[in-house]
Amino acid sequence: MAWWSRTQGLAEQPKKSVPKGIWNKCERCSTTLYEADLEANLRVCTSCQHHFRMPTEGRIEMIVDAGSWQEHDRDLESCDPLGFRVDSKRYVDQVKGTTRKVGPGDAYRAGTATIGGLPVEVGFFVFEFMGGSMGSVVGEKIARQFERAVAHKRAAIMFSASGGARMQEGVLSLMQMAKTSAARSRLREARVPYISVLLHPTTGGVAASVAMLGDIIIAEPDALIGFAGPRVIEQTIRQQLPPGFQRSEFLLEHGMVDMVVSRKDLKATLERSLRWFERSRDPERRTGTVADDVVEIPATD
Ligand SMILES: [Zn+2]
């Protein structure tokens, strides 16, 4: 390339730089997108419908009714029981640094809110905070969210985007898989619905526990969802995996998720699901099935 540029006399030409924050390039179709258009389209590519990652703050705004968000437990902080450090960096300092950058509340934000006027206990993994990893604070916040849902008989909704358990907390982070799953089972005993929404990526210990235990499991298109990465699985089973393995559409086809829903339809789908659960609690009004009422699977190309 260097030789070709030299002989064509192109090396001397000044490079055209794209001002940061004004343009964005779609990682799937390579279309250059005006950042304001992308934002207006809920961070979905206007050309190929690729779903870009959405910051948690924007996600909360998009899902809950305006003015209804009351956040809980934002002051919970991780301690460092193992005195963990990588090279010279201590885990406590890593948490402090990330908190300064991303905001308090560790990798999960939970609140009471309404969606379409219906009260819910809703929580969002914060992928920006150490890859949305689940340590003791995340586990505790999920458990408390579910306890509030049981106490007030409000549906629980969880949005997952996580790399899995937080290795810096060792076995305490693995324990959160059991803890959140136990809290989830109390929702079932109290007959309180739980909707799980899987975003890109939902992997590791989060995928292997509470995220896959929803009464309804919804995924955004083309999200990576799975426990171990494909390379590890291929090496273990000594077989090549089929194309699209561990993506939302593949999991829908194989019965692991109930719906694949585009971001723009997500809030309306949650509203319809919540209304169906409301009706199903009342035997007089109980008609049809969730499938009749709710399922609306967008065509995939
Ligand atoms: Zn695109």
- 27 Cα–ligand 1 center, Å: 7
As its CATH architecture, domain 54-293 has Alpha-Beta Complex (3.90)
- For the stretch 198-223, pLDDT in tens is 999 999 999 999 999 999 999 999 99
Residue tagged 């379409």 (tokens): 116
Average pLDDT, the chain: 89
- 62 Cα–ligand 1 center, Å: 21
- 32 Cα–ligand 1 center, Å: 8
Class of residue 167 by CB neighbours under 10 A (exposed 0-12, middle 13-18, buried 19+) = middle
- Give residue 287's pLDDT: 57
- 125 Cα–ligand 1 center, Å: 25
- 45 Cα–ligand 1 center, Å: 5
- 116 Cα–ligand 1 center, Å: 30
Q: What is the C-alpha to C-alpha distance for residues 97 and 49, in angstroms, rounded to an integer?
A: 34
Q: What is the C-alpha to C-alpha distance for residues 85 and 110, in angstroms, rounded to an integer?
A: 28
- 49 Cα–ligand 1 center, Å: 6
- 24 Cα–ligand 1 center, Å: 10
- 106 Cα–ligand 1 center, Å: 31
pTM above 0.85, yes or no: yes
- Give residue 136's pLDDT: 96
- 25 Cα–ligand 1 center, Å: 8
Strands 118-125 and 108-115, by their bridges, are antiparallel
- 67 Cα–ligand 1 center, Å: 33
Query: Which stretches in the chain have pLDDT values below 70?
Result: 1-20, 283-301
- 290 Cα–ligand 1 center, Å: 32
Q: SS3 sequence, the chain?
A: CHHHHHHHCCCCCCCCCCCECCEEECCCCCCEEEHHHHHHCCCECCCCCCECCCCHHHHHHHHCCCCCCEEECCCCCCCCCCCCEECCEEHHHHHHHHHHHHCCCCCEEEEEEEECCEEEEEEEECCCCHHHCECHHHHHHHHHHHHHHHHHCCEEEEEEEECCECHHHHHHHHHHHHHHHHHHHHHHHCCCCEEEEEEEEEEHHHHCCHHHCCCEEEECCCCEEECCCHHHHHHHHCCCCCCCCCEHHHHHHCCCCCEECCHHHHHHHHHHHHHHHHHHHCHHHCCCCHHHHCCCCCCCC
For the chain, the structural domain boundaries read 19-52, 54-293
